[in-house]
Chains A and B, each alone.
Chain A
């Protein structure tokens, strides 16, 4: 908070963006940080629900042959999770590209990030379909609802992120995104990284912690 106490115009040079704010952080960036902190509690509530309920329906799942360790295909989900994590790398490369005014590089890396995100979502759709075929329903014990609702909401967040990336991609195609607006990419990146980090937590809680 110490920077926040410095009056505007005394401590900062003329480096846009954010040069005219009290904190030295631009409005958009401070805003997205505040929003993401709120999202932490949103996912936190679902993750807590899952952890509190974990194992309560063990007998039911065992009887129906739906125990998580049985139906999970951990190598497959690890692969899609790895792809999602790699999309954070391409996101960083996209930001680096626009910051050095490399518009072609920006589009390549934005496209790659969106594609990786899409691969992850496709993997999730495939996984959901498989689980459904095996007999896991939204109504199965407490594992069904906690699993589907939590991972589904995470998938919805990734989908929103993909639309965000595509919108940046098309804006840059029209020439409306220049290095002066690199912050638009940075903010989208913050959201994207956040969604990735949430997945690390969810993946650990669901796939790596034993269900009992």
Chain B
């Protein structure tokens, strides 16, 4: 805890332990920072690490399935691998990476100096990180979760005595997810308040960049999706550890209720994952087409429509459970309907690129790749909404193919596009374009090699989540191709990591506005100073920064305004008087209490639980009474 001591040593004595740390630079500052940009980088870096881990798990799965009767993994380890791969990608990569981009970019895009609750922001990060580490620590007890990322009861909820899933796997899974859910809700509250309350003068809701809108929509989705699953997870935990009968059909419980509660979260969750990707792509396409986004308002209203209709489609995950014709029809129709706003967006993106002066930089390639791959995934998604077809496809590799096309071909492509696009704003230097193109093309080829054949083996009846398969079903060749494709994706990811280090060494200075951007984050220096905006910008239109740079002549051609007109004010303004909140270590202390409580719950050790409660209470109390800023020396 050198952080604590150093930090305390720097401030006036009477405040003692409650003084706020002041270090803004150096290694230890990362533990106490409440700067939204640094927190965004912490989220992004941690999510990348989890992405690599989940990728390695996927490679093991593909090695096991490369031929019939594979022997690389045992059935139990295979179950752990696909459970942890899914759980990691959804909760430790997809959601936190969106929060990473959101954290860094939302304040910059709306012209704010920080988020509404800087300390809560840091708390959310620690809870996510500790939740992830907590869940992975289950490997130390050889008890990794093995009930699938959806953790269906009663498989996961049967008591140990009934012998359903030995070990502590489901307990680590339920407690870990509850923890990360708490973290997500804190960041959702933070985004909502920041976006609704902290926009610069003139930045009305309908002048906000699409990315900000999508973050606002997913913040509301997170807020309302997390509680039902938290309730379900508590019930699973109680069933497994205290012999309650929430999901025990023999005593009046109903396993189907678990599925309802889970998918009431789980389907909005799908949109929580994909909408930020849509937002990122909606930022990249106009810049590299040198055209405004086609139908800005329509894109936003489609996003909101997806957010609303997303609450009425959850049972399409349960078509095979026998819900009855009325429910099947209703949910089937709603599922077809949600394809409409999604399709509208695809046409908007195409309209944006159409007739534009397209520059095929890596970011743009990933954005275009997103449109193509996501459309394919969307089409197979509409196939699932047809109930009879669904009963044929459910639990086969066809479903695996579908959701990887939307989540990998969609979301992950958007993230990579976002990396190449905003890297200069994050770190002040560009990523290498040549390596970037290798990254893109190998990703696109590897992705299709891996996941396209899954459609075919799925239609030929290959079941999901089965650790091995016999010879002679006609699945061998396609599975070999899939495994080769998985390694091409691994190579592509490696290219990206190499690119990060090579570019860091070369440090090709990017300048403030390397892509001729349209949104406010490009109007300020790269990397961004701690206070973001030396002067809070005044916004006059959508794409305000673009209109500060360009105007149109009588024939509608773009004319660049003289330099200087582009600057909102004196950029080299000395920022001494800008008041920023001080760092704090209490979010870290409070968050440390949660995994401690978690171990108490998993091993039913009430002493450990008590220690965890004490740590959390101590952190929270100190947080409440610590002074709002460090004492200043003048």
- Residues in chain A within 8 A of chain B (CB atoms): 1, 4-5, 7-10, 21-23, 25, 27, 30-31, 34-35, 37-42, 44-46, 49, 52-53, 56-57, 60, 138-139, 141-142, 144-146, 149, 153, 163, 167, 171, 176
Main secondary structure of the interface of B (DSSP, over half): helix
**Nearest CB in chain A: distance from B314 CB, A:** 13
- Taking a contact as CB atoms under 8 Å apart, the answer to whether A27 and B205 are in contact is no
- Taking a contact as CB atoms under 8 Å apart, the answer to whether B244 and A167 are in contact is no
Q: With a CB–CB cut-off of 8 A, which chain B residues contact A44?
A: 227-228
The answer for the CA separation of A54 and B243 in the assembled complex, in Å, is: 19
Q: With a CB–CB cut-off of 8 A, which chain A residues contact B438?
A: none
Contact of A52 among B196, B242, B251, B254 (CB under 8 A): B254
Q: With a CB–CB cut-off of 8 A, which chain A residues contact B522?
A: none
- Taking a contact as CB atoms under 8 Å apart, the answer to whether A138 and B193 are in contact is no
Q: With a CB–CB cut-off of 8 A, which chain A residues contact B252?
A: 53, 56-57, 60, 141-142
In the assembled complex, B42 has its CB within 8 A of some CB on chain A: no
- Taking a contact as CB atoms under 8 Å apart, the answer to whether A5 and B189 are in contact is no
Q: With a CB–CB cut-off of 8 A, which chain A residues contact B204?
A: 5, 7
Q: With a CB–CB cut-off of 8 A, which chain A residues contact B116?
A: 27, 30-31
Q: A4-B205, A144-B244 are in contact. Are A21 and B198 (CB under 8 A)?
A: yes
Which chain B residue shows the least CB distance to A141?
Answer: B252
Q: With a CB–CB cut-off of 8 A, which chain A residues contact B203?
A: 7
The answer for the CA separation of A35 and B186 in the assembled complex, in Å, is: 8
Q: With a CB–CB cut-off of 8 A, which chain B residues contact A4?
A: 196, 205
Q: With a CB–CB cut-off of 8 A, which chain A residues contact B232?
A: 45
The answer for the CA separation of A169 and B400 in the assembled complex, in Å, is: 55
- Taking a contact as CB atoms under 8 Å apart, the answer to whether B223 and A34 are in contact is yes
- Taking a contact as CB atoms under 8 Å apart, the answer to whether A145 and B246 are in contact is yes
B:598-634 near A, CB below 8 Å: 617, 621, 624-625
Q: With a CB–CB cut-off of 8 A, which chain B residues contact A56?
A: 252
In the assembled complex, B9 has its CB within 8 A of some CB on chain A: no
Q: With a CB–CB cut-off of 8 A, which chain A residues contact B625?
A: 167, 171, 176
Which chain B residue shows the least CB distance to A37?
Answer: B223
- Taking a contact as CB atoms under 8 Å apart, the answer to whether B624 and A167 are in contact is yes
- Taking a contact as CB atoms under 8 Å apart, the answer to whether A23 and B197 are in contact is yes
In the assembled complex, B45 has its CB within 8 A of some CB on chain A: no
Contact of A21 among B117, B197, B224, B230 (CB under 8 A): B197
In the assembled complex, B202 has its CB within 8 A of some CB on chain A: yes
- Taking a contact as CB atoms under 8 Å apart, the answer to whether A7 and B223 are in contact is no
**Nearest CB in chain A: distance from B626 CB, A:** 11
Q: A7-B202, A38-B224 are in contact. Are A49 and B231 (CB under 8 A)?
A: yes
In the assembled complex, B575 has its CB within 8 A of some CB on chain A: no
The answer for the CA separation of A56 and B185 in the assembled complex, in Å, is: 34
B:525-571 near A, CB below 8 Å: none
Main secondary structure of the interface of A (DSSP, over half): helix
Q: With a CB–CB cut-off of 8 A, which chain B residues contact A27?
A: 116-117, 193, 197-198
The answer for the CA separation of A60 and B238 in the assembled complex, in Å, is: 21
What are 19 A-B interface contacts by the 8 Å CB criterion? A1-B205, A7-B199, A7-B202, A8-B199, A21-B197, A27-B193, A27-B198, A38-B223, A42-B230, A49-B257, A53-B252, A139-B244, A142-B246, A142-B252, A149-B238, A167-B625, A171-B624, A171-B625, A176-B625
Looking at B197, B204, B238, B251, which has the most chain A CB atoms within 10 Å of its CB? B197
- Taking a contact as CB atoms under 8 Å apart, the answer to whether A41 and B199 are in contact is no
- Residues in chain B within 8 A of chain A (CB atoms): 116-117, 120, 185, 188-190, 192-193, 196-206, 223-224, 226-228, 230-232, 234-235, 238, 242-246, 251-254, 257, 261, 617, 621, 624-625
**Nearest CB in chain A: distance from B461 CB, A:** 35
Q: With a CB–CB cut-off of 8 A, which chain A residues contact B235?
A: 49, 145, 149
**Nearest CB in chain A: distance from B184 CB, A:** 10
Q: With a CB–CB cut-off of 8 A, which chain A residues contact B242?
A: 138-139
The answer for the CA separation of A8 and B484 in the assembled complex, in Å, is: 55
Contact of A22 among B188, B198, B231, B257 (CB under 8 A): B198
Q: With a CB–CB cut-off of 8 A, which chain A residues contact B238?
A: 138, 145, 149
The answer for the CA separation of A176 and B626 in the assembled complex, in Å, is: 11
- Taking a contact as CB atoms under 8 Å apart, the answer to whether A42 and B198 are in contact is no
The answer for the CA separation of A39 and B203 in the assembled complex, in Å, is: 31
The answer for the CA separation of A147 and B412 in the assembled complex, in Å, is: 43
The answer for the CA separation of A44 and B228 in the assembled complex, in Å, is: 8
Pairs A-B, 7 closest by C-beta atoms: A45-B231, A145-B244, A42-B227, A41-B227, A21-B197, A56-B252, A142-B252
A149-B235, A167-B624 given. 10 additional CB < 8 A pairs?
A: A5-B204, A7-B203, A22-B198, A23-B197, A31-B120, A37-B223, A39-B227, A49-B261, A52-B257, A53-B253
Contact of B205 among A5, A8, A146 (CB under 8 A): A5
Q: With a CB–CB cut-off of 8 A, which chain A residues contact B200?
A: 8
Which chain A residue shows the least CB distance to B192?
Answer: A34
Contact of B253 among A25, A60, A142 (CB under 8 A): A142
The answer for the CA separation of A123 and B244 in the assembled complex, in Å, is: 24
**Nearest CB in chain A: distance from B159 CB, A:** 10
Q: With a CB–CB cut-off of 8 A, which chain B residues contact A39?
A: 227
Q: With a CB–CB cut-off of 8 A, which chain A residues contact B224?
A: 37-38, 41
Q: With a CB–CB cut-off of 8 A, which chain B residues contact A138?
A: 238, 242-244
**Nearest CB in chain B: distance from A48 CB, A:** 8
Q: A145-B238, A149-B235 are in contact. Are A25 and B197 (CB under 8 A)?
A: yes
- Taking a contact as CB atoms under 8 Å apart, the answer to whether A45 and B193 are in contact is no
- Taking a contact as CB atoms under 8 Å apart, the answer to whether A45 and B196 are in contact is no
**Nearest CB in chain B: distance from A142 CB, A:** 4
Q: With a CB–CB cut-off of 8 A, which chain A residues contact B617?
A: 163
